[in-house]
Chains A and B, each alone.
Chain A
Amino acid sequence: MTAMILSWSVFLAQVMLALAMGCAVWRVAVGPRAQDRVLALDTFYVLAAMLLLVFGIRTGSVVYFEAALVIALLGFVATAALSKFLMRGEVIE
């Protein structure tokens, strides 16, 4: 019984996160401007980290946590660099 509750809620959480990632991908594709695309990409990174954590709960392994940590780190660096690029037109001056 408890296993069924847990597996159903994990499945629902995965579906909701996949839908949310679909929304973010749609915003990356449509735009309309560059800053909207960067914002959607940042959202996409965070949702991917959340989806990996849910995968970790589903499989019961701790390996997915490290992938989520790396995604969170790289997402911050990518968004910071892209905002710098939008502001100045170049990343390293």
Chain B
Amino acid sequence: MTHAESLPAWAAILVSLLLLLGAGLGLVGAIGLLRLRNFYERIHAPTLGTTLGIGSILLASMLFFTVLQSRPVLHEVLIAVFMVLTTPVTLMLLARAALYRDRREGSAEVPRSTTGEG
């Protein structure tokens, strides 16, 4: 990491804190994916990593390259906007698919459908 010596101290400390926060949230989400008991509890855990986790790592990357190249580097916003748009869509689709499958099997863990379908 030879390029890192040119970084001022405040930027290095801020980038380090944001990196550790993001990676820690990703790890906590993945541990939750392992430890929680059923699917409907588990689907909540990884969203820690997909919202604030990747958000703070993107902020760290933006800050790092902006200070290093002394010009605004903002293309990481693309990933942030994309994750914010797609994470709820995919997880809602997945939860609906799981609910449909559980109801089809007549599982006692999920509530019955009130509209009669599925």
Contact = CB atoms under 8 A, between A and B. Distances in A.
Interface of A: 1-3, 5-10, 12-14, 16-17, 19-24, 26-27, 33-36, 38-40, 42-43, 46-47, 49-50, 53-54, 56-58, 60, 62, 65, 68-69, 72-73, 76, 79-80, 83-84, 86-87
B9 A46 contact: no
Contact of B27 (A2, A19, A62, A84): A19
A88 B38 CA distance: 22
Nearest to B35: A23
A16 B68 contact: no
Contacts of B61: 53, 56-57, 65
A47 B49 CA distance: 8
Nearest to A68: B79
